[in-house]
Structure 1
């Protein structure tokens, strides 16, 4: 029901506008009667769906440094009962909004105000965001003009591309840009061959196999927001016949995908959708297959081959729109069919593709090492 209501708010302009005006006013009035707690920090990752990504990296940093023990950290989740070891609150409830109005510090990778505007002047708000954009996001999407990040104190950017996109997509102020890269990606910048070997061991990858990580992007709901299922036109039995002697495939669905259809998992095709730490999967992988997902930018940090399997290239990109042409900027041109994709992988010049990926990375990801410390110190001071 909650996802259905969110879908309606996103796609009905009148209801959306009414919600923003009325509820924003209500919370601003409510906030006048809530004293700011100088030691309270509110964390939200992916709208309360997960305990991961850059907010968790920052949280872990604070937990490991004695100077931040004085802060009380509260996490907002859809299902807080699953995180008994943390102090939590259920997102989108009166208790959540009361916590948001009281907390001195807000840290998120999506949003805290849930589409509203009620931040008080004395609150400090950092948004790490959650990916470099290929597809149009925010106000750049057709029919969307409701994003306004002008109250952010800090908005993390990974490079020049982010700065251009965030200005138009979020109405973000350049003065809020924190040029350090996403904390979640710092681990990728520091990963070496030892880290790769360790991850493969932990994931149970046979020593004689190489790893393909297949991570397609999210698809819009086709049933009015009831589900967000994906059914890629893939015949993994064919993949196994062509690649099974040399590779295993980790299948990773987008975090907002509710169901994967038409896929049977086995020793060759492994279900990695529920694995929490996507960085582990990237570090272990020799090759990434994706389509229009931001994971391409993250994985490029490792300078390993990236293949774009764009089976719905024309229809998807016509509907969503992109900031640049995939075939002009990606490490190599997209594959439109399974046959083409499998042939490319079988004939891969690994070192040449690594160099192609490095070129792509250097254009879009200019910051990374030291991101976590930079974000924490920006929010809480030196």
Structure 2
């Protein structure tokens, strides 16, 4: 129906469909492009796709449920597609539609055709990847590393826009000039009870897979809550942020020293309020490094054997720990060890975030979206605009 019927309808100038992580959240790079469009008053009619609930999505955009008739109709008639993962496979993008693929993180782990299971797997799997990727008209990159690894692995043939990531603009610029985001961070800090003088440490690893290759559903804290409370609880609060494919397993009794922040839709405010990061191979290390705050790479259970695009021991942004005791010691000695890791972390940020200058959202908007036309006196605006409705 989409390719045979809906794609024959006329494209609507200025119609843009936004989606983040398959409609899970109002978040990530698409969110910050949308905010820049709104800030600059571009003549864009925004539609946001949501997967299950419209809660948390912007009131001043039209909302459609992912997979609904309204969703497919909006995609068929859109002048712009903006997302960070992928619209449904099988939908042919029209030549009149510009697809801005922001993606959702630089790569340490092998991607796409660089993965042995994809390279040696069924041809149908590679064909599916090719069809998804060849729809892109623009692909955002943060560095030459992205172009050489992520883009090559996925087989991207679209324009590579060396703008950095819009979600990282606040990590470079701070929030002083952004009252909306400053209020969001302050509200989050208050809701998490982080005003008692202790430092917030964000634990945000990527997902792990079980024996059958499926994501493990529960993420345990990296340190036993009783051990954390005894050894570190007077100085730190641990914020446990699972990958969206799993949930945090934080015991209710650990609330005094640990918080489950898996329900926070957008990670950028969490990065802004965190004083340090614990992660593994997750792409979050590339983003957090821009803040020039301590990073610990915790690689238990053989995770340091994971194949990647570079050697974490040589080029990682911080110390590596492999056991609970090592992680406790690293946190206890965080300040003392800072002098030995700061220079390498800054080199890491410069290498992998070379295009993150705090202007990514503006660069994307200026490159692809028309400027607002000056209104004549008596202009009553776009009578067809529809705000805040769901379908």
Q: Distance in 2 between matches of 1:89 and 1:373?
A: 26
Question: Where do 1:310-325 residues align within 5 Å?
Answer: 310-314=299-303, 317-318=305-306, 321-325=307-311
Is the Cα–Cα contact under 8 Å of residues 237 and 258 in structure 2 kept in the other structure?
yes
TM-score scaled by structure 2? 0.81
1:182 maps onto 2:182 in alignment: no
User: 1:75 is paired with a residue of what secondary structure?
Assistant: strand
Query: Once the two structures are superposed, what CA deviation does each residue of 1:341-368 show, in whole Å capped at 9, x if it has no partner?
Result: 1112212323443333111111111012
1:260 maps onto 2:243 in alignment: no
| Partner residue in 2 for 1:138 | 112
| Partner residue in 2 for 1:97 | 72
Distance 1:78 1:300, change over 3 A: same
Q: Distance in 2 between matches of 1:280 and 1:249?
A: 15
TM-score scaled by structure 1? 0.83
More helix by share: 1
Deviation (angstroms), 1:381 = 3.9
User: 1:101 is paired with a residue of what secondary structure?
Assistant: helix
Among candidates 307, 322, 326, match of residue 340 of structure 1: 326
Greater relative contact order (Cα 8 A, min sep 6): structure 1 or 2? 2
Which stretch of structure 1 is more off in the superposition, 89-98 or 370-379? 89-98
Query: Once the two structures are superposed, what CA deviation does each residue of 1:306-342 show, in whole Å capped at 9, x if it has no partner?
Result: 101111234x744xx3112222221234211010111
User: 1:301 is paired with a residue of what secondary structure?
Assistant: helix
Is the Cα–Cα contact under 8 Å of residues 300 and 357 in structure 1 kept in the other structure?
yes
Q: Distance in 1 between matches of 2:33 and 2:58?
A: 20
Among candidates 20, 43, 54, match of residue 29 of structure 2: 54
Deviation (angstroms), 1:105 = 0.6
- Unaligned runs of 5+ residues in structure 2 are 119-125, 372-391
| Partner residue in 2 for 1:15 | none
Q: Distance in 1 between matches of 2:50 and 2:111?
A: 24
Deviation (angstroms), 1:226 = 9.4
RMSD: 2.7
Query: Once the two structures are superposed, what CA deviation does each residue of 1:89-112 show, in whole Å capped at 9, x if it has no partner?
Result: 111234322221111111111112
Among candidates 332, 346, 355, match of residue 367 of structure 1: 355
Is the Cα–Cα contact under 8 Å of residues 84 and 103 in structure 2 kept in the other structure?
yes
Among candidates 276, 281, 288, match of residue 277 of structure 2: 288
| Partner residue in 1 for 2:346 | 358
1:302 maps onto 2:291 in alignment: yes
Deviation (angstroms), 1:51 = 0.6
Distance 1:199 1:295, change over 3 A: farther
Distance 1:205 1:106, change over 3 A: same
| Partner residue in 2 for 1:172 | 156
User: 2:322 is paired with a residue of what secondary structure?
Assistant: coil
Question: Where do 1:1-382 residues align within 5 Å?
Answer: 27-66=2-41, 68=42, 70-82=43-55, 83=57, 85=59, 86-112=61-87, 114-116=88-90, 118-144=92-118, 145=126, 146-148=128-130, 149-173=133-157, 176-191=159-174, 202=190, 203-220=192-209, 228-231=217-220, 234-257=223-246, 259-261=247-249, 263-264=251-252, 265-314=254-303, 317-318=305-306, 321-348=307-334, 349-368=337-356, 369-381=358-370
Distance 1:193 1:286, change over 3 A: farther
User: 1:37 is paired with a residue of what secondary structure?
Assistant: coil
Deviation (angstroms), 1:223 = 7.2
Query: Once the two structures are superposed, what CA deviation does each residue of 1:45-103 show, in whole Å capped at 9, x if it has no partner?
Result: 0011111111111111112222x1x3211111112443483411111234322221111
Q: Distance in 2 between matches of 1:96 and 1:291?
A: 36
User: 1:92 is paired with a residue of what secondary structure?
Assistant: coil
Distance 1:94 1:268, change over 3 A: same
- Unaligned runs of 5+ residues in structure 1 are 1-25
